[in-house]
Amino acid sequence: AIKNDAAAAGWAEMQWGAGKPWQKGATPGVVFIITLGTGIGSVIFVNGHMLTAELGHLQFNSTESEKYAAAIVKSKENLSWREYGERVNWYLQAVETLFAPDVFIIGGGVSEYHDLFFHYLQPKAQVLPASFGNVAGIAGIACAALGTWS
């Protein structure tokens, strides 16, 4: 069952997008998908199996990470791409410490600008932009409605 927009986005990315190589465990591993928007949505796939996660609430200097690194914060605080990339990098490294993913897939509206901030991201895991960007959630709902995900 789809529990939130990040889960729907994750389904789409695993079925048809950047996560397809890890779909159904075809390539074993841990895929961590995040959506950066007004908050930080997250979902984890382990060997193709989805686990929901609400990790936008991780703490950073007494602040929830989504109040520190969500896409909306970039515009509200007028951050440069470097400053924003460094904040997202902190978040990825914190998640990496907890889950040791093989790959991060980053979606949400800001992912269309990945060429402006991905080079500031330095986790050990591979980092990929979401294939569906800001419409991954819609594609995931369509995927579920068509019954193409099990």
Which of 23, 101, 86 has its CA nearest to residue 55?
101
CA–CA–CA angle 110, 28, 143 (5° rounding): 50
Helix axes 136-146, 5-16, angle to 10 degrees: 70
Cα dihedral 81, 76, 41, 89 sign: positive
pLDDT band at 39 (very low <50, low <70, confident <90, very high): very high
The reported pLDDT for the residue numbered 2 is 61
Output helix, strand, coil percentages for the chain, rounded to the nearest 5. 50, 20, 30
**CA-to-CA dists, residue 46 to 29, 37, 51, 78, angstroms:** 6, 24, 8, 36
The reported pLDDT for the residue numbered 86 is 97
The reported pLDDT for the residue numbered 55 is 87
What's the whole-model pTM score? 0.90
- Give the separation between CA 52 and CA 42, rounded to whole angstroms: 7
The reported pLDDT for the residue numbered 125 is 96
